[in-house]
Protein backbone atom coordinates (compact mmCIF):
# COMPACT_ATOMS: atom_id res chain seq x y z
CA UNK A 1 0.00 0.00 0.00
CA UNK A 2 1.47 3.34 -0.99
CA UNK A 3 1.43 6.29 1.34
CA UNK A 4 -0.67 9.25 0.16
CA UNK A 5 1.47 12.16 -1.04
CA UNK A 6 0.14 14.73 1.50
CA UNK A 7 0.77 12.39 4.42
CA UNK A 8 4.23 11.50 3.14
CA UNK A 9 5.15 15.17 2.75
CA UNK A 10 3.82 15.95 6.22
CA UNK A 11 5.95 13.19 7.76
CA UNK A 12 9.00 14.28 5.82
CA UNK A 13 8.57 17.85 7.02
CA UNK A 14 8.35 16.56 10.59
CA UNK A 15 11.82 15.08 10.25
CA UNK A 16 13.07 18.25 8.57
CA UNK A 17 11.92 20.26 11.59
CA UNK A 18 13.99 17.97 13.79
CA UNK A 19 17.03 18.75 11.66
CA UNK A 20 16.43 22.44 12.40
CA UNK A 21 16.20 21.97 16.17
CA UNK A 22 19.20 19.61 16.14
CA UNK A 23 21.31 22.21 14.36
CA UNK A 24 20.31 24.90 16.85
CA UNK A 25 20.92 22.61 19.83
CA UNK A 26 24.36 21.51 18.63
CA UNK A 27 25.40 25.11 18.06
CA UNK A 28 24.12 26.30 21.45
CA UNK A 29 25.64 23.35 23.33
CA UNK A 30 29.10 24.55 22.36
CA UNK A 31 28.54 27.53 24.66
CA UNK A 32 27.41 25.56 27.72
CA UNK A 33 28.88 27.04 30.88
CA UNK A 34 30.58 29.85 28.95
CA UNK A 35 28.81 32.61 30.83
CA UNK A 36 27.89 34.21 27.50
CA UNK A 37 24.16 33.78 26.94
CA UNK A 38 24.10 36.14 23.97
CA UNK A 39 26.68 34.04 22.10
CA UNK A 40 24.69 30.85 22.82
CA UNK A 41 21.48 32.48 21.58
CA UNK A 42 23.05 33.86 18.40
CA UNK A 43 24.69 30.51 17.61
CA UNK A 44 21.36 28.68 17.88
CA UNK A 45 19.48 31.29 15.83
CA UNK A 46 22.09 31.35 13.04
CA UNK A 47 22.26 27.55 12.79
CA UNK A 48 18.48 27.16 12.68
CA UNK A 49 18.15 29.96 10.14
CA UNK A 50 20.65 28.29 7.78
CA UNK A 51 18.79 24.97 7.95
CA UNK A 52 15.42 26.59 7.30
CA UNK A 53 16.73 28.08 4.04
CA UNK A 54 16.92 24.57 2.54
CA UNK A 55 13.43 23.39 3.60
CA UNK A 56 10.79 22.81 0.93
CA UNK A 57 8.27 25.22 2.46
CA UNK A 58 6.85 28.66 1.77
CA UNK A 59 7.01 29.69 5.40
CA UNK A 60 6.20 32.81 7.38
CA UNK A 61 7.49 33.49 10.90
CA UNK A 62 4.53 34.16 13.17
CA UNK A 63 6.28 33.65 16.51
CA UNK A 64 9.99 34.36 16.58
CA UNK A 65 12.68 36.61 17.98
CA UNK A 66 10.67 39.84 17.77
CA UNK A 67 9.87 42.59 15.28
CA UNK A 68 12.04 43.32 12.24
CA UNK A 69 13.39 46.42 13.95
CA UNK A 70 14.55 44.28 16.89
CA UNK A 71 16.33 41.37 15.17
CA UNK A 72 17.89 40.26 11.89
CA UNK A 73 16.71 36.64 11.82
CA UNK A 74 13.37 35.01 12.62
CA UNK A 75 11.60 38.35 12.88
CA UNK A 76 7.82 38.28 12.74
CA UNK A 77 6.67 38.26 9.13
CA UNK A 78 9.98 36.97 7.73
CA UNK A 79 9.66 34.58 4.80
CA UNK A 80 11.66 31.37 5.27
CA UNK A 81 12.21 28.17 3.30
CA UNK A 82 12.97 27.85 -0.41
CA UNK A 83 9.35 28.66 -1.44
CA UNK A 84 9.01 25.22 -3.11
CA UNK A 85 6.41 23.71 -0.85
CA UNK A 86 3.27 24.29 1.21
CA UNK A 87 2.42 27.66 2.73
CA UNK A 88 2.92 27.30 6.46
CA UNK A 89 3.23 29.43 9.57
CA UNK A 90 6.26 28.88 11.78
CA UNK A 91 6.81 29.46 15.49
CA UNK A 92 10.35 29.17 16.77
CA UNK A 93 12.42 29.71 19.87
CA UNK A 94 15.83 28.60 18.64
CA UNK A 95 17.15 28.50 22.19
CA UNK A 96 14.84 28.44 25.15
CA UNK A 97 17.06 28.99 28.15
CA UNK A 98 20.04 30.99 26.90
CA UNK A 99 20.93 31.99 30.46
CA UNK A 100 20.60 28.33 31.48
CA UNK A 101 23.10 27.28 28.82
CA UNK A 102 25.47 30.05 29.86
CA UNK A 103 25.36 28.71 33.44
CA UNK A 104 25.44 25.06 32.39
CA UNK A 105 22.05 24.42 33.99
CA UNK A 106 19.27 21.96 33.05
CA UNK A 107 16.20 22.12 30.78
CA UNK A 108 17.46 24.23 27.85
CA UNK A 109 15.92 23.19 24.52
CA UNK A 110 15.59 24.28 20.92
CA UNK A 111 12.02 24.18 19.70
CA UNK A 112 10.01 24.89 16.56
CA UNK A 113 6.43 24.34 15.43
CA UNK A 114 4.72 24.53 12.06
CA UNK A 115 1.04 24.96 11.22
CA UNK A 116 -1.18 25.59 8.25
CA UNK A 117 -1.45 29.24 7.27
CA UNK A 118 -3.22 31.22 10.00
CA UNK A 119 -2.74 28.48 12.57
CA UNK A 120 -0.70 30.39 15.16
CA UNK A 121 -1.70 33.25 17.39
CA UNK A 122 0.72 36.07 16.59
CA UNK A 123 2.14 37.36 19.85
CA UNK A 124 4.86 39.87 20.73
CA UNK A 125 7.67 39.40 23.26
CA UNK A 126 5.49 40.07 26.32
CA UNK A 127 4.34 38.02 29.30
CA UNK A 128 1.60 35.41 29.35
CA UNK A 129 -0.16 33.78 32.31
CA UNK A 130 -0.59 30.03 31.77
CA UNK A 131 -2.14 26.87 33.12
CA UNK A 132 -1.56 23.51 31.43
CA UNK A 133 -2.41 19.88 32.14
CA UNK A 134 -1.94 16.58 30.34
CA UNK A 135 -4.31 14.43 28.28
CA UNK A 136 -7.56 12.95 29.52
CA UNK A 137 -8.81 16.14 31.18
CA UNK A 138 -12.26 17.24 29.93
CA UNK A 139 -13.18 20.84 29.15
CA UNK A 140 -14.04 22.87 32.22
CA UNK A 141 -11.78 21.05 34.69
CA UNK A 142 -9.16 23.79 34.68
CA UNK A 143 -9.91 27.50 34.52
CA UNK A 144 -7.31 30.27 34.56
CA UNK A 145 -9.79 32.51 36.40
CA UNK A 146 -9.99 30.15 39.39
CA UNK A 147 -7.74 30.06 42.41
CA UNK A 148 -4.96 27.42 42.28
CA UNK A 149 -6.59 25.36 45.06
CA UNK A 150 -9.80 25.06 43.02
CA UNK A 151 -7.93 23.91 39.91
CA UNK A 152 -5.89 21.44 41.93
CA UNK A 153 -8.96 19.96 43.62
CA UNK A 154 -10.72 19.65 40.24
CA UNK A 155 -7.71 17.96 38.63
CA UNK A 156 -7.25 15.62 41.59
CA UNK A 157 -10.90 14.59 41.37
CA UNK A 158 -10.55 14.06 37.61
CA UNK A 159 -7.45 11.90 38.14
CA UNK A 160 -8.91 10.06 41.11
CA UNK A 161 -6.01 10.98 43.39
CA UNK A 162 -5.52 13.26 46.41
CA UNK A 163 -4.13 16.77 45.81
CA UNK A 164 -0.99 15.72 47.66
CA UNK A 165 -0.17 13.35 44.78
CA UNK A 166 -0.12 16.19 42.24
CA UNK A 167 3.09 17.90 41.13
CA UNK A 168 2.90 21.53 39.99
CA UNK A 169 5.69 23.00 37.89
CA UNK A 170 6.45 26.71 37.72
CA UNK A 171 9.33 29.03 36.99
CA UNK A 172 11.41 29.94 40.02
CA UNK A 173 10.76 33.69 39.92
CA UNK A 174 9.99 36.32 42.60
CA UNK A 175 6.76 37.14 40.76
CA UNK A 176 5.48 33.67 41.66
CA UNK A 177 5.94 33.98 45.44
CA UNK A 178 2.21 34.35 46.18
CA UNK A 179 1.25 31.66 43.66
CA UNK A 180 3.84 29.31 45.15
CA UNK A 181 2.44 29.72 48.65
CA UNK A 182 -1.11 29.07 47.41
CA UNK A 183 -0.03 25.85 45.71
CA UNK A 184 1.82 24.69 48.81
CA UNK A 185 -1.12 25.59 51.05
CA UNK A 186 -3.37 23.51 48.79
CA UNK A 187 -1.19 20.49 49.59
CA UNK A 188 0.35 19.88 46.16
CA UNK A 189 4.00 19.16 45.58
CA UNK A 190 6.09 21.68 43.63
CA UNK A 191 8.84 21.50 41.03
CA UNK A 192 10.57 24.85 40.50
CA UNK A 193 12.57 25.28 37.31
CA UNK A 194 15.16 27.94 36.52
CA UNK A 195 13.84 28.45 33.00
CA UNK A 196 12.37 26.66 30.01
CA UNK A 197 8.63 26.96 30.41
CA UNK A 198 7.98 25.24 27.06
CA UNK A 199 9.46 22.07 28.52
CA UNK A 200 7.47 22.67 31.71
CA UNK A 201 4.21 22.92 29.76
CA UNK A 202 5.00 19.87 27.62
CA UNK A 203 6.14 17.96 30.71
CA UNK A 204 2.59 18.11 32.04
CA UNK A 205 1.48 15.96 29.08
CA UNK A 206 4.26 13.37 29.06
CA UNK A 207 3.85 10.20 31.15
CA UNK A 208 7.55 10.38 32.02
CA UNK A 209 7.44 14.14 32.64
CA UNK A 210 6.52 13.85 36.31
CA UNK A 211 4.38 17.01 36.12
CA UNK A 212 0.60 17.17 36.58
CA UNK A 213 0.04 20.89 36.13
CA UNK A 214 2.02 23.86 34.89
CA UNK A 215 1.21 27.27 36.37
CA UNK A 216 2.52 30.79 36.18
CA UNK A 217 3.73 33.67 34.07
CA UNK A 218 6.27 33.25 31.30
CA UNK A 219 6.91 34.43 27.76
CA UNK A 220 4.08 34.67 25.24
CA UNK A 221 6.08 33.10 22.35
CA UNK A 222 6.90 30.17 24.63
CA UNK A 223 3.19 29.92 25.45
CA UNK A 224 2.29 29.49 21.77
CA UNK A 225 4.98 26.85 21.31
CA UNK A 226 3.80 25.06 24.45
CA UNK A 227 0.26 25.06 23.08
CA UNK A 228 1.53 23.64 19.77
CA UNK A 229 3.19 20.76 21.61
CA UNK A 230 0.15 20.11 23.78
CA UNK A 231 -2.02 19.86 20.66
CA UNK A 232 -0.02 16.80 19.68
CA UNK A 233 0.16 15.26 23.15
CA UNK A 234 -3.54 15.84 23.84
CA UNK A 235 -3.11 18.22 26.78
CA UNK A 236 -5.17 21.24 27.79
CA UNK A 237 -4.00 24.81 28.22
CA UNK A 238 -5.39 28.25 28.96
CA UNK A 239 -3.47 31.50 28.73
CA UNK A 240 -3.91 35.24 28.95
CA UNK A 241 -1.55 37.96 27.69
CA UNK A 242 -0.18 40.46 30.18
CA UNK A 243 0.74 44.05 29.34
CA UNK A 244 3.09 45.28 32.05
CA UNK A 245 3.62 48.65 30.44
CA UNK A 246 2.14 50.86 27.72
CA UNK A 247 4.75 49.69 25.21
CA UNK A 248 3.56 46.08 25.58
CA UNK A 249 0.01 47.13 24.83
CA UNK A 250 1.09 49.21 21.82
CA UNK A 251 3.11 46.37 20.29
CA UNK A 252 0.26 43.92 20.84
CA UNK A 253 -2.24 46.35 19.29
CA UNK A 254 -0.03 46.59 16.20
CA UNK A 255 -0.32 42.80 15.88
CA UNK A 256 -4.10 42.89 16.17
CA UNK A 257 -4.40 42.05 19.87
CA UNK A 258 -6.58 44.43 21.87
CA UNK A 259 -8.40 42.32 24.45
CA UNK A 260 -6.07 41.55 27.36
CA UNK A 261 -8.86 39.92 29.33
CA UNK A 262 -9.36 37.18 26.75
CA UNK A 263 -8.42 33.65 27.74
CA UNK A 264 -6.95 31.57 24.93
CA UNK A 265 -7.15 27.79 24.70
CA UNK A 266 -4.47 25.60 23.16
CA UNK A 267 -6.43 25.50 19.89
CA UNK A 268 -6.80 29.31 19.88
CA UNK A 269 -3.02 29.60 20.03
CA UNK A 270 -2.13 26.70 17.72
CA UNK A 271 -4.98 25.65 15.44
CA UNK A 272 -5.32 23.23 12.54
CA UNK A 273 -2.69 20.66 11.61
CA UNK A 274 0.33 21.37 13.84
CA UNK A 275 3.76 19.75 13.98
CA UNK A 276 6.02 20.36 16.98
CA UNK A 277 9.68 19.45 17.40
CA UNK A 278 12.25 20.02 20.12
CA UNK A 279 15.86 18.99 20.80
CA UNK A 280 17.53 19.03 24.17
CA UNK A 281 20.51 21.34 24.61
CA UNK A 282 21.22 20.60 28.27
CA UNK A 283 19.83 17.66 30.20
CA UNK A 284 16.31 18.06 31.58
CA UNK A 285 13.11 16.28 32.56
CA UNK A 286 11.82 16.39 28.98
CA UNK A 287 14.90 15.61 26.89
CA UNK A 288 18.53 14.58 27.23
CA UNK A 289 21.06 17.24 26.39
CA UNK A 290 23.74 17.23 23.70
CA UNK A 291 26.64 14.91 24.51
CA UNK A 292 29.91 15.76 22.78
CA UNK A 293 32.02 12.82 21.63
CA UNK A 294 35.57 12.62 20.23
CA UNK A 295 34.36 12.82 16.64
CA UNK A 296 30.91 14.36 16.98
CA UNK A 297 27.92 14.45 19.30
CA UNK A 298 24.65 12.74 20.17
CA UNK A 299 21.33 14.51 20.61
CA UNK A 300 17.79 13.60 21.64
CA UNK A 301 14.70 15.11 20.07
CA UNK A 302 10.95 14.68 20.16
CA UNK A 303 8.52 15.33 17.31
CA UNK A 304 4.72 15.15 17.41
CA UNK A 305 1.92 15.81 14.93
CA UNK A 306 -1.49 16.94 16.14
CA UNK A 307 -3.30 15.12 13.32
CA UNK A 308 -2.21 11.71 14.67
CA UNK A 309 -1.09 12.33 18.25
CA UNK A 310 1.90 10.08 17.59
CA UNK A 311 5.13 11.29 19.12
CA UNK A 312 8.61 10.00 18.45
CA UNK A 313 11.85 10.30 20.36
CA UNK A 314 14.82 10.49 18.04
CA UNK A 315 18.40 9.87 19.13
CA UNK A 316 20.83 11.15 16.54
CA UNK A 317 24.55 10.41 16.30
CA UNK A 318 26.34 13.26 14.52
CA UNK A 319 29.69 12.44 12.89
CA UNK A 320 31.72 15.64 12.49
CA UNK A 321 34.51 13.82 10.65
CA UNK A 322 32.20 13.64 7.62
CA UNK A 323 30.84 17.15 7.85
CA UNK A 324 31.50 20.35 9.73
CA UNK A 325 29.52 20.86 12.95
CA UNK A 326 26.83 23.53 12.80
CA UNK A 327 27.38 26.85 14.55
Q: How confident is the model at residue 66 (pLDDT cuts 50, 70, 90)?
A: confident
Domain with CATH 3.30.540.10 in the chain: 5-118+274-319
Q: How confident is the model at residue 196 (pLDDT cuts 50, 70, 90)?
A: confident
Residue 210 CB-density burial (10 A; 0-12 exposed, 13-18 middle, 19+ buried): middle
User: Cα–Cα distance between 125 and 44 in angstroms, integer?
Assistant: 18
Name the residue with higher pLDDT: 322 or 284: 284
Given the candidates 3.30.530.50, 3.40.50.460, 3.40.50.150, 3.40.190.90, the CATH classification of the domain at 127-269 is: 3.40.190.90
Q: What is the mean pLDDT of residues 251-278?
A: 95
> What is the per-residue pLDDT for 326?
58
Q: What is the mean pLDDT of residues 183-207?
A: 93
Q: How confident is the model at residue 195 (pLDDT cuts 50, 70, 90)?
A: confident
Residue 246, SS3?
helix
Q: Which residues contact 228 (CB under 8 A, 6 or more apart)?
A: 91, 113, 115, 120, 269, 270, 274, 276, 306
Per residue in 130-188, pLDDT (tens digit) is 999 999 999 999 999 999 999 999 999 999 999 999 999 999 999 999 999 999 999 99
Neighbouring-strand partners of residue 170:
192
Q: What crossing angle do the helices spanning 148-159 and 177-186 adopt, rounded to 10°? A: 40
Q: What's the predicted TM-score (pTM) here?
A: 0.92
Q: What kind of fold does domain 5-118+274-319 have according to CATH?
A: Fructose-1,6-Bisphosphatase; Chain A, domain 1 (3.30.540)
> What is the per-residue pLDDT for 324?
63
Domain with CATH 3.40.190.90 in the chain: 127-269
C-alpha separations of 197 from 52, 86, 173, 181, 315 in Å? 24, 30, 12, 19, 23
Amino acid sequence: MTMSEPVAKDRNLSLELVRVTEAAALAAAGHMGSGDEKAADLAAISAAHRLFASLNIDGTICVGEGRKSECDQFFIGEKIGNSHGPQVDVAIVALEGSSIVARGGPNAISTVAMAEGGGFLKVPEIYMDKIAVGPGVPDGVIDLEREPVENLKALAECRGVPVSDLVVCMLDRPRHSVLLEKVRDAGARVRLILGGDVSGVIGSALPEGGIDMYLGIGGAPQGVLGAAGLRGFGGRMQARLIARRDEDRTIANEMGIEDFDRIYSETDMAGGNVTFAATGVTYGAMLKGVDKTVAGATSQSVVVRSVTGTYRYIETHHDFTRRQPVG
